[in-house]
Amino acid sequence: MDIILASGSPRRRELLARAQLDFTIMSVDIDETPQSNESPTEYIERMVATKAAAAVQQLNDTLKTSKANLAEQLIILTSDTIGVLPDGQTVLVKPTDREHAYRMWQQMSDNTHEVWTAVQATHVSRVPLASKGANTADHETVFQIIKQQKITERTAVTFIPLTMEMMSRYWESGEPADKAGGYGIQGLGAAWVSRINGSYTNVVGLPLPQTLALIKNITESGIH
């Protein structure tokens, strides 16, 4: 089945490309604000489900407005990465500004946090609109969700002690702005990481072996 990576992250695109898979990119835009009293697990699972729903809607909008050559069945991959402090409740998301980044980093300094990445595979299939009771021509179709599977991978990351000068230099580099926890282990942020316990690619933004296993599982379960 054709695969769509519903993510604007260049890091996820690069990681998935390493597996030599054929896939296309679709960017989805959703509100990523955590809800009050939402646990990290609830938040990250809501994010991948919301991104999947947005991707399906975007595909259906495409069917309505163009003659795009879309496959009959697709696998949509959605992913979301957060940091979680040792209390198991405090979520480290993308920094909204310098002060927000500093607050997160001060809590991560000389401490161990976890990086959680949720990945959801959504199998969709085109079905006739007429079969859904719509008053339309038989050849018109809409994408419908057949099944969904998700995984969550966790990796422990330990930071060295951070100084204000280190944080200031890093923020000025521009690297932290679009990254969960405000750092990139594959970039300049690597200088802050003294050790990790778990998947490196998970910290980058996509646990690659686990994601490939997820794709294989949902693809094979969709073959009849």
Residues whose CB falls within 8 Å of the CB of residue 82, separated by 6 or more in sequence, listed in order: 40, 43, 44, 91, 92, 93, 115, 116, 180, 181
CA–CA dist 29, 77 (Å, integer):
15
CA–CA dist 147, 4 (Å, integer):
15
Burial of 94 (0-12, 13-18, 19+ CB in 10 A): middle
Q: Which of 31, 80, 138, 178 is catalytic?
A: 80
CA–CA dist 94, 104 (Å, integer):
10
- 178 catalytically annotated: no
Per the CB < 8 A criterion, the answer to whether 119 and 206 are in contact is yes
Query: 72 in helix, strand or coil?
Result: coil
Token representation of residue 19: 């597996």
Residue numbers annotated as active site: 80
